[in-house]
């Protein structure tokens, strides 16, 4: 989505200004932004933000797994979040941890719903 | 009898007593004496009726053939494949394995009724002493362990071969899986819940694909009816290029809907197999068979 | 500041892509939300809508759900179509359609792109 979003901006710039000029502008923007991004992400997301979310995701997943309702995707997200954290990519790690927690919670909802409403699935 | 003697003087009292006694008996019945088999029979009737309405032209006995019962196109290819059955090798292998003596001198035949021949239709059954459902594959490993042998893996290989051989000696026998008591009914109910509950990230139940939309196309494939699901297992599946057990298929199905597969021959899958086998009551055993 | 940075990161990522190779930028320059939505709709690991729905131009299509056509007519309110893809259970608890948004099969933005594409059908 980000790609499209930026494409629109890119297209707009390219449409109004000469292509060469636009490319130069974009190149400058690229380095400025890259520098800012590298400089800021480490500070914005400390380990302390990510680890509790990951712990929560793991705990919820354990509960769900005991009910037999774990999704195949959730533990992959947790693993990916851990890899990103170890690699120092904290912004990415935080996103993955949040996604993992969201999935764990949704699968728990599903498990609890199934327990109460499984008869709804009977097509009689 | 006692009520007659005590209450014969007052009609009202008699009537009241009878009412109380009756309701008392009814209450006791719900606790222990319930006829579980007839409760289950109602489920079987509903299940069969559903498919009868959905596929009015298909004979009940045809459901042992899985999706090929309802899909004429793939049935042709399947019949051609069955001319040179890809599972035959597994049957031979299973027969040889079945005859091998354990280190203690015993054989598989010593563990099973009728020497293990023609008994596939009685599995899975509810073992009252163990308080759980015993599938054929579990019984095979039980036999091995009782005789000091290592258990086999449940997915494929020797286990699938043994299962294939034992099914082949039972060809034509009809599924006769009973639910005789409260504990058995509990296990049956767990399997039933599993069958109808939505799970996985894609949020599908077994019934969603194999009842509601059975016969419809999912991409290029048609989902088979759940009625008769277990009759043909183990199967040689084209996609696997080898033999696999029913529980291997369960695990694959779960992965497809992005649900974490549960342990093969764990309680959940055995209860599901129990439910599915009860639903397939009266269908012939025709395993092993081949599937796409 | 946070928002600014996030946006900048996105822009950076995209620009990096723009500068890599020569063929890719051309493709991207031509792409629009509709195109991205079509990719998501057809992708087996993403929308995989063809699994159950017939869509003009598709192959190996399912017949489980209704054909996806004349979507503007059927969903004059685009928001309703978005909600249907995001979580069809809201409209019909017994639906067998996966809740693409609620179960994080697709992100909000991805559901949005799919809807943009569906609206062209």
Q: Say which CATH architecture domain C32-118 belongs to.
A: Orthogonal Bundle (1.10)
Q: Does C94 touch chain B (CB under 8 A)?
A: no
Task: Tell if the CB–CB gap between B203 and C104 is shorter than 8 Å.
Answer: no
Asked if residues A121 and B196 have their Cβ atoms less than 8 Å apart, the reply is yes
Instruction: List the catalytic residue out of B18, B143, B209, B253.
Output: B253
**Catalytic status, residue B209:** no
| For chain B, domain boundaries | 33-86+173-291, 88-168
CATH classification of B33-86+173-291 is 1.10.238.10, yes or no? Answer: no
pLDDT in tens, C42-54: 999 999 999 999 9
Long-range contacts of C31-36 (CB under 8 A, 24+ apart): C31/A3, C31/A4, C31/A7, C32/A4, C32/A7, C33/A4, C33/C112, C33/C113, C33/C116, C33/C117, C34/C113, C34/C116, C34/C117, C34/C120, C35/C117, C36/A1, C36/A3, C36/A4, C36/C113, C36/C117
- Å from C82 to nearest chain A CA? 16
B210-230 mean pLDDT: 92
* Residue B144 neighbours by CB distance under 10 Å: 18
| For chain A, domain boundaries | 1-44, 45-115
pLDDT in tens, B53-63: 999 999 999 99
Predicted pLDDT of residue B244: 98
Would the CATH topology of B33-86+173-291 be identical to that of B88-168? Answer: yes
Predicted pLDDT of residue B93: 98
pLDDT at B283 over 90: yes
Task: Tell if the CB–CB gap between A33 and C31 is shorter than 8 Å.
Answer: no
Mutate to test the interface with C, among B197, B217, B222 (most CBs of C within 10 A): B217
pLDDT at A122 over 50: yes
Predicted pLDDT of residue B217: 87
More confident residue, A47 or B30: A47
- CA B256 – CA B4 distance, rounded (Å): 65
- CA B242 – CA B156 distance, rounded (Å): 8
Average pLDDT, whole number, for chain A?
Answer: 81
B125: helix, strand or coil: strand
- CA B182 – CA B229 distance, rounded (Å): 25
CATH classification of B88-168 is 1.10.760.10, yes or no? Answer: yes
pLDDT at B280 over 50: yes
pLDDT in tens, B158-170: 999 999 999 999 9
Task: Tell if the CB–CB gap between C64 and B203 is shorter than 8 Å.
Answer: no
| For chain C, domain boundaries | 1-30, 32-118
Question: B8: pLDDT confidence band, cut at 50, 70 and 90?
Answer: very low
ipTM of the complex, rounded to two decimals? 0.85
- Chain A contact set for B193 (CB, 8 A): 114, 118
Closest residue in A to C27 (Cα) is A7
Task: Tell if the CB–CB gap between A72 and B198 is shorter than 8 Å.
Answer: no
- Chain A contact set for B212 (CB, 8 A): 123
Question: C32: pLDDT confidence band, cut at 50, 70 and 90?
Answer: confident
Q: Nearest CA to B134 among B250, B273, B262, B39?
A: B273
Mutate to test the interface with C, among A6, A11, A124 (most CBs of C within 10 A): A6
C67-82 mean pLDDT: 95
Predicted pLDDT of residue B13: 45
Predicted pLDDT of residue B101: 97
More confident residue, C105 or C5: C105
Q: Does A114 touch chain B (CB under 8 A)?
A: yes
Q: Nearest CA to B168 among B207, B126, B112, B121?
A: B121
């Amino acid at each position: 989505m980000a790609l499209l979003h930026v494409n629109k901006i890119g297209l707009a710039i390219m449409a109004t200004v000469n292509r060469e000029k636009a490319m130069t502008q974009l190149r400058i923007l690229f380095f400025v932004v890259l520098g800012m991004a590298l400089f800021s992400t480490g500070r914005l997301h400390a380990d302390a933000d990510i680890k509790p979310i990951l712990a929560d995701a793991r705990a919820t997943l354990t509960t769900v797994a005991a009910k037999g309702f774990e999704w195949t995707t959730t533990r992959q997200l947790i693993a990916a979040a851990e890899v990103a954290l170890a690699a120092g990519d904290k912004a990415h790690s935080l996103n993955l941890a949040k996604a993992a927690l969201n999935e764990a919670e949704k699968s728990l909802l599903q498990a609890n719903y199934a327990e109460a409403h499984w008869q709804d699935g009977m097509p009689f | 009898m006692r009520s007659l003697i005590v209450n014969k003087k007052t009609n009202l009292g008699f009537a009241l007593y009878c009412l109380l006694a009756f309701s008392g008996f009814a209450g006791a019945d719900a606790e222990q004496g319930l006829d579980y088999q007839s409760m289950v029979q109602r489920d079987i009737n509903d299940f069969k009726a559903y498919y009868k309405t959905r596929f009015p032209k298909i004979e009940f006995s045809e459901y042992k053939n899985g999706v090929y019962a309802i899909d004429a196109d793939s049935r042709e290819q399947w019949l051609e494949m069955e001319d040179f059955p890809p599972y035959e090798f597994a049957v031979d292998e299973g027969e040889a394995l079945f005859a091998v003596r354990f280190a203690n001198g015993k054989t598989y035949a010593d563990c099973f009724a009728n020497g293990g021949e023609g008994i596939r239709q009685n599995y899975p059954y509810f073992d009252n002493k163990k308080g759980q459902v015993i599938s054929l594959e579990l019984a095979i490993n039980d036999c091995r362990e009782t005789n000091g042998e290592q258990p086999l893996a449940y997915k494929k290989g020797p286990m699938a071969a043994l299962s294939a051989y034992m099914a082949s000696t039972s060809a034509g026998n009809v599924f006769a899986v009973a639910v005789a008591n409260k504990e058995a009914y509990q296990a049956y109910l767990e399997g039933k819940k599993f069958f109808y509950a939505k799970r996985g990230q894609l949020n599908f139940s077994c019934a969603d694909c194999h009842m509601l939309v059975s016969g419809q196309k999912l991409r290029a494939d048609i989902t088979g009816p759940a009625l008769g699901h277990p009759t043909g297992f183990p199967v040689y599946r084209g996609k696997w290029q080898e033999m696999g057990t029913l529980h291997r298929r369960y695990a694959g199905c779960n992965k497809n809907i992005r649900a974490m597969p549960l342990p093969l021959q764990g309680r959940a899958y055995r209860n599901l197999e129990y439910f599915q086998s009860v639903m397939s009551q009266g269908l012939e055993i025709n395993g092993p068979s081949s599937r796409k | 500041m946070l928002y600014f940075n996030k946006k900048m990161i996105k822009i950076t990522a995209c620009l990096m892509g723009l500068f890599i190779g020569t063929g890719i930028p051309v493709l991207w320059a031509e792409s629009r939300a509709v195109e991205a939505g079509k990719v998501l709709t057809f992708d087996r690991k993403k929308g995989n809508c063809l699994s159950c729905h017939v869509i003009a131009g598709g192959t190996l299509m399912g017949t489980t759900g209704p054909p996806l056509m004349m979507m503007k007519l059927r969903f004059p309110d685009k928001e309703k179509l978005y909600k249907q893809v995001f979580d069809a259970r809201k409209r019909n608890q017994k639906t067998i359609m996966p809740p693409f948004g609620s179960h994080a099969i697709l992100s909000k933005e991805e559901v949005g792109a799919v809807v943009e594409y569906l609206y062209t059908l």
